Amino acid sequence: MTTTIQEVPMLIGKQWVHPTVAEFGSIFNPSRGQLIARVPLGGPADVDAAVQAAQKAFASWSVTPPTKRAGYMFKYRALLEEHFEELAKIVTLENGKTLDESRGDVRRGVEVVELACGIGELAKGESLPRVADQIDGVTMREPIGVCAGITPYNFPAMVPMWMFPIAIACGNTFILKPSEKVPLTANRLAELFLAAGFPEGVLNVVHGGRAVVDALCTHPGIVALSFVGSTKIAEHVYVLGTQHGKRVQAAGGAKNVMVVMPDAEPDSTLRAVMGAAFGCAGQRCMAGSILMGVGETASAVQKRVAEAIDALKVADTSADPSAQMGPVIDAPAKQRILSYLDLGQKEGAQLVRDGRKLPGSLPSEGYFVGPTLFDNVQPGSKLAADEIFGPVLSMMRPQNLQEALAWANRSPYGNGASIFTTSGRHAREFSLGIQCGMIGVNVGVPAPMALFSFSGWGRSFFGDLHVQGHEGVMFYTRQKVVLSRWDSEYRRTQGW
């Protein structure tokens, strides 16, 4: 494990550049609180340079045949597979995930690249001969121009690959602004992209904070923006971007519910609940953060979850491959999460397992919060309403499924919800009644595979077309309709 403090470059065209900036961000190994890199916090000038490179590349890339674009994507996929373990280790180093979680992060990103390899099929238009007398109709989907993506720290590999592979396969060029907390994974993805032979300027990487975000939202050379992050910033990006005439898809936060019915299968339900609540240290917008034990099952569910928390191994993920949960991203995140433990107790919830009580073997400078369980959380409380974005599970006790649905549907968010049951009737009632875009039936984290779109509702998403899947292709293309009239030989000879 290197302790060298590296300076992270930006990718403009095919050049890795170290811009002159006034400020740098610090990149830490979250398990140890150890500084590992510095990232330049760029500004509008860096965005403009990237836009110019992307515009220049768009002229030729946009008319490159889809089959040839797919060929580049196949080469890229092969390189991602070749460097799979390397990428997973980078994710663990700068994000703090366990190695298995990092592998999952990379794998879900690679799946989107695999989807992009089929762009010739995905972006096909439609045709209808004789749509009217002597007239044929054809639709085609064309690239839209220079696109940009702003991505969060919690999935350093997957979320960027939700965006740029599909956008680029559709014939666009792209500017990626990864989170300034996890730039190393994004840069390595870009290095492999260049190694796959893509033309200069097709993918660019600009690092920075709000100045870069706002420049991407307002630059006249950018036609579309993709964003994943908190709801507050998602709304800001959506409003600012659309005000400047851009297409915007902006995915925000969530407060996802897991409902356990009395007839649920106990063992598989427990595994799903633990993975959903404490996987990635709870730092994901599809985390199961509210657990509803319905009726008579609540006490038994609480006891099993508490015992499973006791057995969960929290460790330094950069050194211990057997770790089952790692740290949160940084010191501010740790303090924010811990503040909710104090708040929950003030609200009257029962603190069943306290994440402040940690194993003495953990690095003292690491950003660790242990798995936390509250019980008797009340509707309308901050624990029930706020996205904590950490390993805090809030348990509620509705008397029946109808009450569970009523409580869940009070949330302004709308990402995911899950039910655990062996009853088809309960599963159907839940699926039809819950107000969110992604539903799990005996699935803890109902995040869709690359073939389907990530379909948040409410204040979990701003825009019309979601990321990845068919909607992703639609977002990065625009439709053209061609109506053609070719008179028959008879009509021409008659002078018609």
* CATH code at position 69: 3.40.605.10
Query: Are 65 and 203 in the same domain?
Result: yes
Query: Are 311 and 437 in the same domain?
Result: yes
The answer to whether position 495 is within a domain reads no
Marked catalytic residue, from 117, 170, 280, 285: 285
Q: Is the pTM of this model over 0.85?
A: yes
Q: Running DSSP on this structure, what letter comes out for residue 314?
A: B
Asked if 39 contacts 8 with a C-beta cutoff of 8 angstroms, the reply is yes
Query: Are 146 and 263 in the same domain?
Result: no
Give tens-digit pLDDT for 28-58.
Answer: 999 999 999 999 999 999 999 999 999 999 9
Domain that holds residue 35: 6-252+460-482
Query: Are 240 and 314 in the same domain?
Result: no
Query: Are 144 and 167 in the same domain?
Result: yes
Q: Running DSSP on this structure, what letter comes out for residue 467?
A: B
Query: Are 73 and 118 in the same domain?
Result: yes
Give tens-digit pLDDT for 427-482.
Answer: 999 999 999 999 999 999 999 999 999 999 999 999 999 999 999 999 999 999 99
Query: Are 306 and 403 in the same domain?
Result: yes
Kindly write down the DSSP assignment for every residue of 238-303, as one continuous string.
Answer: HHHHHHTT-EEEEE----EEEEE-TTS-HHHHHHHHHHHHHGGGG-STT-EEEEEE-GGGHHHHHH
End-to-end CA distance of the chain: 80
Query: Are 266 and 370 in the same domain?
Result: yes
pLDDT at 486: 85
Is 285 an active-site residue? Answer: yes
Query: Are 242 and 340 in the same domain?
Result: no
Query: Are 158 and 300 in the same domain?
Result: no
Query: Are 291 and 399 in the same domain?
Result: yes
The answer to whether position 447 is within a domain reads no
pLDDT(489) > 70: no
What are 323's two structure tokens?
């770790």
The domain tally of the chain equals 2
The answer to whether position 489 is within a domain reads no
The answer to whether position 358 is within a domain reads yes
Query: Are 38 and 166 in the same domain?
Result: yes
Indicate which CATH number applies to the domain containing 385. Answer: 3.40.309.10
Listed residues 411, 441, 471: the one ending a domain: 441
